[in-house]
Structure 1
Amino acid sequence: MIVRSAAWAGCAIALHTFVNTRLVRTPSASPPPCGERVSVLMPVRDEAHRVGPALRSVLAQTGVADLEVVVLDDGSTDGTADVVREIGGDRVRVVVGTPPPPGALGKPNACAGLAAEATGDVLVYVDADVVLAPHAVAAAVALLRANGLDLVSPFPGQLAEGWAARLAQPLLIWSILASLPLRLAERTGRPSMAVANGQFLVVDAAALRRCGGFESVRGEVLDDMAIARRVRVGGGRTAVVDGSGVARCRMYQGWAEVRDGYTKSLWSASGSPAAAGAFAAAFAWLFLLPPLAALRGSRAGLIGYAAAVVSRALAARRTGGRVGDAAAHPLSAALVLVLLARSWWGRRRGTLTWKGRALGGGG
């Protein structure tokens, strides 16, 4: 009975994923010229090895006549600022970030500093591991304005190399397409239904100021999700869209980066130890129990496993991922549960760090 119920739930998730792949918004391939002043803002910390392609793609943007580019160097020790100046010249303004105050984290503190420097009507945050298509900024701003939104998150296509990244990275966009009713989430003002990805984030400058800006989420590990919720609290509208056609991100490379990256953030995504336990139980029921049962000859287990694979494959096909990797979904689910446990263990011990900075915890 428990396997059969998991199989039915898996089929429902696959159907929901299919519907979302049809409904998810996509930035236009031929956007109209942007008549507003746009500030592209890039927070960097020890990114000398990869900031070049990202910055060059920003400087190659078309369709935005009034574009400023501001890069905030957040205490880099590897010469990142020198690389930025060499590539950008007088087209890029480099500012020196200030250390985060007590209780604040590096990324949201840097984003707050960038907003203070920006002069645009629209702020476009881009991470140093994201490469934009030439029309990406114009297309994202056009989508923001055409749909009456205050914040839009064009989810970049995830470039995954190596076994760990190929197991973990596709789950980011898949989890949204599989679980969130996109159009309902866009229409409702509920903060709990706000989703965003800080790799490529477009926000109306006035709306950001109204909600308190990144200063109001300086202590949040998942500052992108937190700022989207703050925008909604301030009366704004937000949406996540398929940005795989306009942006690509190579987030983590190798097991060590995947392990450390997810360990520092998964505890925050799950909310509390009780919520993490409930999520882990549900995730195992949905995506580990059916394939294990299938190995023992369960037809319901085989259906449940196939439904999960179909859901993953639909998301991958829609967002430019590897469709074949969907067959390894049980391994992806197992990896998430291991990293979730590791994240909460690090949180309780107070040992979580990111880029040389402590993330707090303990207790």
Structure 2
Amino acid sequence: MIWPALLPWVALTGHTIVNAALLRRLSAGQTSAERIAVLLPLRNEAERVTPCLESLLNQRGVRNLEIIVLDDGSTDGTADVVRAAAPGSTVRLLTGAALPPGWLGKPHACAQLADAAADADVLVFLDADVVLAPDAIAGAATLLRKTGVDLLSPYPRIVGAGRLVQPLLQWSWLTFLPLRIMERSPRPSLAAAGGQWLVVDRAGYERAGGHAAVRDDVLEDIGLARAVKRSGGRIALADASGFADCLMYTSWPDLRDGYSKSLWASFGSPAGAAAVVTLLILLYAVPPLAALVLAASHPVLALWSLAAYGIGVVGRVVSARATGGRAWPDALAHPISVLIFGWLVVRSFRLRRRGLLAWRGRPV
């Protein structure tokens, strides 16, 4: 009776496999005649904005491309770095306005950028830690139109610190989110997006209320995707690991603080967070521990636990292969990844309760 008891793990990993096979992907060699604006909000990004800008200046296949950069109160000379990286180019550098009451920093910066790109048909919101391949913008704009959605979230390959934690982002939506159903469903709750790179139809963006609709949302990317759905639009995720790299964090303290600032907002409530974390631990962290503990006294249960662990590892491998991640030996540490994630969730709620959350010098 071992195998029927493994149905939850088989079903979830099977869903991962199906999603990976159906995952939309960018194509090279595409062209676009639309007016496209790449919008780059910057706050203290002097150390890493240059590769991003250089990759934008090397884009091909787009006939009408405008690059607009907004310096959002940087104190590290970010604006000077932008000028040095793009001398005499078509990059337009703006100075951000003071943050109004009721707004968070990134939504306000993105709203200003969108206003500055009044003539664009397609808005491309990009973070400074993303470096694009030459065909990336044309490929993303083409896929936006091919799928007929209003918001496309092309997910880059995540590099840098956090090999145990970062891959959980892609794994989670491949494992638990029915991607094609999400595209067709009008339910705002069935939405996902990655703010590192968003490609948005201008008309759909305005119908959704733009970033003003998510002005105080810590997870403004998911908030914007939900706003698009509420306005009658559609969204889609795509793998862009062959077209973009994202260096989100360069150290464990940066990753810890980055996750802590927003995880509290990911679950709706502390009870929801507790339920999700408990389920993940039961499914993916308990089985290998149980296999060790029960090996001598209950070999059948130990075998069941080992099989559950192995099926979970397979899901992690499939996710890594589908999204440009590292499969081995990282997938074997999947239970540790889940435990670290659980600790980060607890830390996020604790700091939130104490009013200690901040990012880039601003309180959250």
TM-score interval, normalised by the smaller of the two chains: over 0.9
The match for 1:28 is: 27
Cα offset, 1:7, TM superposition: 4.0
The match for 1:244 is: 241
Q: 2:337 aligns with which of 312, 332, 343?
A: 332
Letter aligned with residue 331 of structure 1: I
- Counterpart Cα distance in 2 of 1:250 and 1:190: 32
In structure 1, stretches of 5+ residues that fail to align are none
- Counterpart Cα distance in 1 of 2:205 and 2:64: 20
Are 2:206 and 1:201 equivalent residues in the alignment? no
- Counterpart Cα distance in 2 of 1:320 and 1:51: 23
The match for 1:92 is: 91
- Counterpart Cα distance in 1 of 2:132 and 2:4: 42
- Counterpart Cα distance in 2 of 1:6 and 1:71: 54
Are 2:126 and 1:126 equivalent residues in the alignment? yes
Does the 8 A contact of 2:29 with 2:61 survive in 1?
Answer: no
The match for 1:312 is: 316
CA offsets per residue over residues 2-47 of structure 1, 9 Å max, x none?
x98884312211111111110000011222x201100000001100
The match for 2:307 is: 303
Does the 8 A contact of 1:191 with 1:232 survive in 2?
Answer: yes
Equivalent position SS for 1:167: coil
Equivalent residues in 2 for 1:9-88, closer than 5 Å: 9-31=8-30, 33-88=31-86
Cα offset, 1:253, TM superposition: 1.4
CA offsets per residue over residues 35-69 of structure 1, 9 Å max, x none?
11000000011001000001110111100011000
Distance 1:20 1:40, change over 3 A: same
CA offsets per residue over residues 199-223 of structure 1, 9 Å max, x none?
1100001111111100110101110
Equivalent position SS for 2:238: strand
CA offsets per residue over residues 162-182 of structure 1, 9 Å max, x none?
xxx011111111111111111
CA root-mean-square deviation: 1.4
The match for 1:321 is: 325
Equivalent residues in 2 for 1:280-291, closer than 5 Å: 280-291=277-288
Are 2:168 and 1:171 equivalent residues in the alignment? yes
Equivalent position SS for 1:78: coil
- Counterpart Cα distance in 1 of 2:95 and 2:264: 30
Letter aligned with residue 304 of structure 1: A
- Counterpart Cα distance in 2 of 1:256 and 1:304: 32
Q: State the TM-score, normalizing by the size of structure 2.
A: 0.95
- Counterpart Cα distance in 2 of 1:4 and 1:148: 42
The match for 1:137 is: 137
Equivalent position SS for 2:36: strand
Identity among equivalent positions (%) equals 52
- Counterpart Cα distance in 1 of 2:12 and 2:155: 20
Letter aligned with residue 148 of structure 1: G
Distance 1:116 1:335, change over 3 A: same
Q: State the TM-score, normalizing by the size of structure 1.
A: 0.95
- Counterpart Cα distance in 2 of 1:240 and 1:189: 15
The match for 1:230 is: 227
Cα offset, 1:194, TM superposition: 1.4
Letter aligned with residue 160 of structure 1: G
- Counterpart Cα distance in 2 of 1:195 and 1:5: 32
Letter aligned with residue 113 of structure 1: Q
Equivalent position SS for 1:94: strand
Letter aligned with residue 349 of structure 2: W
